[in-house]
C-alpha cells in the first residue's frame, strides 16, 4: 500500500513532547489524529495508524512528520 507523508505545523514545546513520547514507545494521540484527519482532507482513506517519523529542523516552520498507509485509488 502506498504511504502518504503528512506535515503538521507544530511549536517547539509540542514537538519536544511528541519526540519524547516516541522515544518512550508511546504516542501523542492529538497529533496522530490530526495526521489521520489530514489524510481524509486530501481525499485519501487511511489503511493504518499514522506512524511518527520525525520533526523538521526548522526554526520558524517546525513540523511533525507522519507516514500514513493509504488505500490505493485503483478499483479492480
Q: Does the global pTM surpass 0.85? A: yes
Contact of 37 with 14, CB cutoff 8 Å: no
Nearest-Å Rg of the Cα atoms of the chain is: 13
Q: How many other C-beta atoms lie within 10 A of the C-beta of residue 26?
A: 10
Quick: pLDDT tens for 2-18: 999 999 999 999 999 99
pLDDT given for residue 74 in this prediction: 54
Tens of pLDDT along the chain (76 residues) come to 899 999 999 999 999 999 999 999 999 999 999 999 999 999 999 999 999 999 998 778 899 999 999 998 754 4
The pLDDT value recorded for residue 57 is 87
Nearest to 40 by CA among 75, 6, 74, 2: 6
Note the maximum CA span of the chain: 46
Amino acid at each position: 500500500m502506498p504511504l502518504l507523508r503528512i506535515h503538521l505545523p507544530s511549536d517547539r514545546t509540542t514537538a519536544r513532547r511528541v519526540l519524547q513520547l516516541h522515544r518512550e514507545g508511546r504516542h501523542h494521540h492529538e497529533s496522530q489524529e490530526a495526521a489521520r484527519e489530514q489524510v481524509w482532507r486530501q481525499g485519501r482513506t487511511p489503511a493504518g495508524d499514522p506512524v511518527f517519523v520525525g520533526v523538521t529542523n526548522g526554526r520558524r516552520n517546525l513540523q511533525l512528520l507522519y507516514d500514513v498507509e493509504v488505500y490505493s485509488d485503483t478499483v479492480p
